[in-house]
């Protein structure tokens, strides 16, 4: 458990660009599904991403040392390099280490599998300290 590597892409609306965070030692559980209609077939894949974190002072940090910020705070940061967030509807993750800068989601989605838009996030701040991120 917790042996996967995932690339998280945070969309910065002010600059119209994505910021990349590599998430190591995470658990990714994907459920590949297809939905059929009378006219066509749709991918209906869903994925559960579990990310452990630690509390350092008042910060939530992941193993790479990056610090979590809520979307409103993250969007107002001038320098986002040491930080990441989870924004439903605009951020996404992919199942692998991807270290190239991207300019748009569509070209990446057309070239790679296992890409999921963030749909919901639960923060378990109890003794275990982890996020459950659901992606579609």
The domains of the chain are located at: 4-135
Tens digits of residue pLDDT in 77-114: 999 999 999 999 999 999 999 999 898 898 898 899 89
User: Model confidence at 56, in pLDDT bands (50, 70, 90)?
Assistant: very high
**Residue whose entry in the numeric block shows the structure tokens 């001038």:** 78
């Amino acid at each position: 458990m917790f042996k996967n590597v995932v690339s998280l892409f945070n969309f910065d609306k002010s600059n119209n660009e994505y910021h990349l965070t590599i998430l190591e030692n995470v658990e990714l559980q994907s459920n590949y599904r297809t939905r059929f209609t009378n006219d066509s077939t749709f991918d209906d894949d869903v994925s559960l991403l579990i990310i452990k974190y630690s509390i350092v002072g008042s910060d939530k940090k992941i193993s790479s040392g990056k610090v979590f910020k809520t979307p409103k705070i993250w969007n107002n940061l001038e320098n986002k390099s040491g930080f990441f967030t989870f924004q439903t509807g605009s951020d996404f993750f992919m199942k692998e280490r991807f270290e190239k800068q991207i300019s748009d989601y569509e070209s990446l989605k057309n070239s790679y599998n296992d890409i999921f838009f963030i749909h919901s996030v639960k923060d378990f701040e109890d003794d275990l300290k982890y996020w459950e991120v659901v992606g579609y």
